[in-house]
Structure 1
Amino acid sequence: MAEQNPMRTDLPPYSFPAEENIHQIINTWSLESRVVAHNLKKALLKITTVVNDVTQIKNDIASIKSEIYNMKDNITQLKIQTTLTQRSLKEAHPILEAIEVKVGQTYGDIGSKIDALGHHLETRVDLAIDDINTNIDEKLNNLGRQDPNMQVPPPQE
């Protein structure tokens, strides 16, 4: 590798610009510095917007974390309530079965009593109808005895 010479000889010798050139250079620098300042302001505004957006995102993430924590707490509460409900149902199951058996027995008893009552009523109605028929037959027979011209046929069974 070739060694580099600290003294460069390929550059032209430096010369100071004329006074009018100095004013032109200053104006150019001034214009350039204003453009740079304007661009820096725009960049700063963009950076501020990005920082605000990042802050908002951080706040949103914190809010979401809070909501997730609340959901987790709600799920834990639901698990506890479900466990308690399951225990209550396990304890209530034998009681409900006993009630079901008792209701079935009561239903059967009531059904038997209704059947017996229906049979009893049916028998009583049949007896009452027989009594009424007998009564009517007797009255018709009595009518025939009072009027000798009236013939009443005998009851048919």
Structure 2
Amino acid sequence: MAVLPILTQEAPILRQKAKRVARVDSSIRKLIDDMVDTMVAAPGVGLAAPQVGVGLRVAVIKTDTSLHVLVNPEMVKHEGEQVGLEGCLSIPGYVGEVKRYMEVVARGLNRHGKPVKIKGDALLARAIQHEIDHLDGILFTDRLTSLDTLRKVEPQEQDQEAELVGA
């Protein structure tokens, strides 16, 4: 397992739609392990494969209580709305206000290629949407409620804002 370099917003791959994973094999499992190590080291709430230079539909999300792996994720249900600050490991030092669904259900495959469904609300719902956006070439800055909400934060301030999605 390894900590991979995280690409920043200038990288063209972050603006491309990632390709579906044909088969979850040992190379995909290694990618997942490396992504988890990278996300934890950053630290972040989630990470999508394009952020580490891999154009495949793979995302990892870590909450206080669990680790979620989604291969070929898609949102199948959503309701409500929430507005909150988001940040991104690929846009370091900035946060902005983004409107998201309050509750979502996503489905995909786990690290073993088995179907999984993840239901999330609040922060987990926000993280799922943020990571799926990455897989579609969308950054959180594309979804700002207003450009006026984008602001620079110091690293220690970003660490203090626990409800931020840093993905």
Determine if the TM-score, normalized by the shorter chain, exceeds 0.5: no
Higher helix share: 1
Higher strand share: 2
Higher relative contact order (CA 8 A, sep 6+): 2
TM-score by length of 2: 0.14
Q: Find the structure with the greater CA-based Rg.
A: 1
TM-score by length of 1: 0.15
